[in-house]
């Protein structure tokens, strides 16, 4: 592909992305992530994935996009803001901001597929696959490689203009689209996220013990939550935003304008008593298509009982 054609296609992809509501788009050369292999292996060997056994699967696929898409030449990364305009009442049980609206896996993947199909209408068929935090893809690494930010000490992607309240999606493709410049680390000497984590899950800068994370306990862990963590939850019943709330770069966040991420029903005003008295029928009605369905009614109730106990 000639440079002029490549640049025109990149411009077209960006335009389509903005039409779909994405804030930024970045392009990276598809390659084997040699530098990430020892980090991932060490993380797994330390047991930081806890009971998330699926993290042990597809080790090579997580490092090599060409094993996911034959002939892969580019990884296109998209980010979309999910910072809400209105938060839950402060004296209630808490849900992570990303889970306020419709499950992002479905919303973002629909957008990515629309973009890919629009490109096919322009240039003809090409090879692509869409990923949204569900396949064996190192999302934050590719976002960093695509120039959309740096990975912070809390292990999340940080962006100087947008903070970290955004979803990440990718199109892995056989199109040649070049490489965007990467962004340097801007965490400096700040340790706000490390200091604020109530379960000491950030064991050192840039390394998180997932088996100690509140998000892990409230979403991934199907067993009883260890009693040693009682009193450290700060009323979170699905996910956790603490390490983002204290990050100085969050001051750059602005409310999203994506209707799919708006809360459905009236749960945002629930008191603790409302949550405790919530029926399974009401739960299904309030959170249909929402991320809370990952934990389910029984999982959310389990988390509430742990906080009450």
Angstrom distance (rounded) from CA 119 to CA 177: 13
- H or E element that contains 301: helix 296-308
∠10-14-16 over CA atoms, to 5°? 115
The parent domain of residue 87 ranges over: 1-309
Confidence tier at 12 by pLDDT (50, 70, 90): very high
pLDDT at 206 over 90: yes
* Catalytic residue (one of 64, 91, 103, 133): 133
Mean pLDDT within 89-118: 97
Mean pLDDT within 69-74: 97
- The torsion angles phi and psi of 95, rounded to 5 degrees, stand at -120, 140
3-class DSSP state of 280: helix
Angstrom distance (rounded) from CA 23 to CA 255: 12
Angstrom distance (rounded) from CA 50 to CA 214: 12
- The torsion angles phi and psi of 285, rounded to 5 degrees, stand at -70, -45
Domain count, the chain: 1
Instruction: Answer for the pair 85, 255: CB distance below 8 angstroms, yes or no.
Output: yes
Q: Could you tell me which of 171, 181, 178 has the C-alpha nearest to residue 78?
A: 171
Residue 123's Cβ-side half-sphere holds a number of Cα atoms within 13 Å equal to 16
How high is the pLDDT of residue 2?
78
pLDDT in tens, 233-260: 899 999 999 999 999 999 999 999 999 9
pLDDT in tens, 259-295: 999 998 899 999 999 999 999 999 999 999 999 999 9
Residue 76's Cβ-side half-sphere holds a number of Cα atoms within 13 Å equal to 27
How high is the pLDDT of residue 178?
95
133 among known catalytic residues = yes
- H or E element that contains 204: strand 202-204
How high is the pLDDT of residue 1?
66
Angstrom distance (rounded) from CA 280 to CA 282: 5
pTM recorded for the entire structure:
0.96
Mean pLDDT within 40-47: 96
Q: Please state, as a whole number, how many other Cβ atoms lie within 10 Å of the Cβ of residue 45.
A: 8
Q: Could you tell me which of 100, 85, 116 has the C-alpha nearest to residue 20?
A: 116
SS in 3 state form for 59-91? HHHHHCHHHCCCCCCEEEEEEEECCCCCCCCCC
Instruction: Answer for the pair 202, 111: CB distance below 8 angstroms, yes or no.
Output: no
DSSP 102: B
3-class DSSP state of 3: helix
Q: What percent of the chain has a predicted confidence (pLDDT) above 90?
A: 90
């Amino acid at each position: 592909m000639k440079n002029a054609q490549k640049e025109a296609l990149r411009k077209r992809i960006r335009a389509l992305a903005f039409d779909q509501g994405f804030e930024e788009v970045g392009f990276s050369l598809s390659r084997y992530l040699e530098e990430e292999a020892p980090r991932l292996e060490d993380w797994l060997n330390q047991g930081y994935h806890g009971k998330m056994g699926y993290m042990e699967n597809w080790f090579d696929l997580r490092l090599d996009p060409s094993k996911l898409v034959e002939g892969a030449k580019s990884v296109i990364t998209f980010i979309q803001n999910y910072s809400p305009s209105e938060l839950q009442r402060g004296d209630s049980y808490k849900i992570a901001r990303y889970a306020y609206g419709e499950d992002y896996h479905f919303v973002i993947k629909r957008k990515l597929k629309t973009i890919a199909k629009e490109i096919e209408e322009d240039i003809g068929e090409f090879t692509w696959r869409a990923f949204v935090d569900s396949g064996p893809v190192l999302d934050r690494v590719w976002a960093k490689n695509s120039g959309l930010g740096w990975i912070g000490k809390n292990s999340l992607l940080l962006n100087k203009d947008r903070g970290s309240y955004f979803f990440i999606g990718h199109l892995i493709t056989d199109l040649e689209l070049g490489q965007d410049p990467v962004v340097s680390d801007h965490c400096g000497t700040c340790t706000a996220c490390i200091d604020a984590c109530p379960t000491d899950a950030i064991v050192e800068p840039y390394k998180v013990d997932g088996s100690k994370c509140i998000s892990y306990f409230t979403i991934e862990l199907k067993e009883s939550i260890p009693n040693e963590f009682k009193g450290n939850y700060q009323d979170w019943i699905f996910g956790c935003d603490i390490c983002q709330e204290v990050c100085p770069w969050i001051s750059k966040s602005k409310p999203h304008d994506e209707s799919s991420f708006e809360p459905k029903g009236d749960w945002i005003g629930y008191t603790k008593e409302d949550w405790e008295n919530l029926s399974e029928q009401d739960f299904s009605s309030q959170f249909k298509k929402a991320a809370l369905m990952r934990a389910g009614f029984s999982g959310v109730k389990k988390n509430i009982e742990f906080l009450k106990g």
